[in-house]
Amino acid sequence: AITPYMVVGALIWVAFLQSGIHATLSGVLVAMIIPTRPKYHPNKFSDDVRCLIDRFDQYSTPVKTKSFGWSAFSNQQQAEIIEEMEILVDDVASPLRKLAHALSPLIAFGIIPLFALANAGVEVHIEHFAAIFQDSVTLGVMCGLVVGKFIGISLATWLAVKLKIGKLPKGASFKHILGVGLLGGIGFTMSMFVTELAFSGIEERLVAAKTGILLASAIAGALGFTWFRFFVKPQPETSTDYDETQDELAMGNTPV
């Protein structure tokens, strides 16, 4: 269980914060004391899972339901074996890996964006928000990232394919390239670096450019998500499609 480590980590963080020591050091300390070895050895896990699979196959054929096709949960023995597998899968992962997996969504969608915004050094006031879109620097940066990246990536890829310099990956189409072009407008680290070089010492222009980068990244991300979500069809997963004939053969029955 990772809960004890999270509780201890929170207490250490509070202690560091109250003592005047930089609280981020507590994260390093906690990471060093969380076990990296799993409770269950991977080799033993492999053998035990194979035994469970063999036991699973020995029991009677599960009942076919209208809603979900073949359902193992209609067979009590097979359902119990599945629960045993879940326990084994949980035990074979180390506490450190479990904690990293549990914190990954929070870090990716919460901490990192907040950290990036806090370090961007941009103050956006609601009463001045309308004036942002009237600044030529802000508009130029936004157009460069959202429109320029889209045209550049899409056109360069199209020319490379037409001139036979390169070819699209298997399963990819120009719809995917257009989506990548939209997402290419998301810029932060390098865009901020170039902004610092271009407007060094000009605080007003620097803030306007950084604001344009943040707005362009939000717009490009929203456009890219919308494009892939609603206009690009996912590739069919033919290998995992339900095949009733294969189920019959696997159970030793000859389909009629």
**Mean pLDDT, 10 residues at a time, the chain of 256 residues:** 84 91 85 84 84 82 55 71 87 86 87 76 69 86 96 96 92 93 89 86 87 92 95 68 43 42
Buried b (16+ CB within 10 A) or exposed e, 41-67: eeeebeebeeebeeebeeeeebeeeee
H or E stretch covering 240: none
Q: What is the pLDDT of residue 238?
A: 54
Instruction: Enumerate the β-bridge partners of residue 70.
Output: 64
Q: What is the pLDDT of residue 226?
A: 96
Pair 132, 224 in one domain: yes
State the residue for tokens 């069809």.
Answer: 233
Q: What is the pLDDT of residue 136?
A: 92
Pair 132, 207 in one domain: yes
Q: What is the pLDDT of residue 57?
A: 83
Neighbours of 145 (CB within 10 A): 22
H or E stretch covering 163: none
Alpha-carbon gap, residue 17 to 102, rounded angstroms: 24
Residue 209 belongs to domain spanning: 128-238
Pair 37, 71 in one domain: yes
Pair 160, 228 in one domain: yes
Pair 84, 144 in one domain: no
- Does some domain include residue 210? yes
Q: How many domains does the chain have?
A: 2
Pair 66, 140 in one domain: no
- Does some domain include residue 245? no
- Does some domain include residue 119? no
DSSP character at residue 255: P
Pair 225, 135 in one domain: yes
- Does some domain include residue 41? yes
Pair 234, 134 in one domain: yes
DSSP codes, 22-48: -THHHHHHHHHHS--S-SS-HHHHHHH
Pair 96, 138 in one domain: no
Nearest to 59 by CA among 245, 244, 243, 251: 251
- Does some domain include residue 254? no
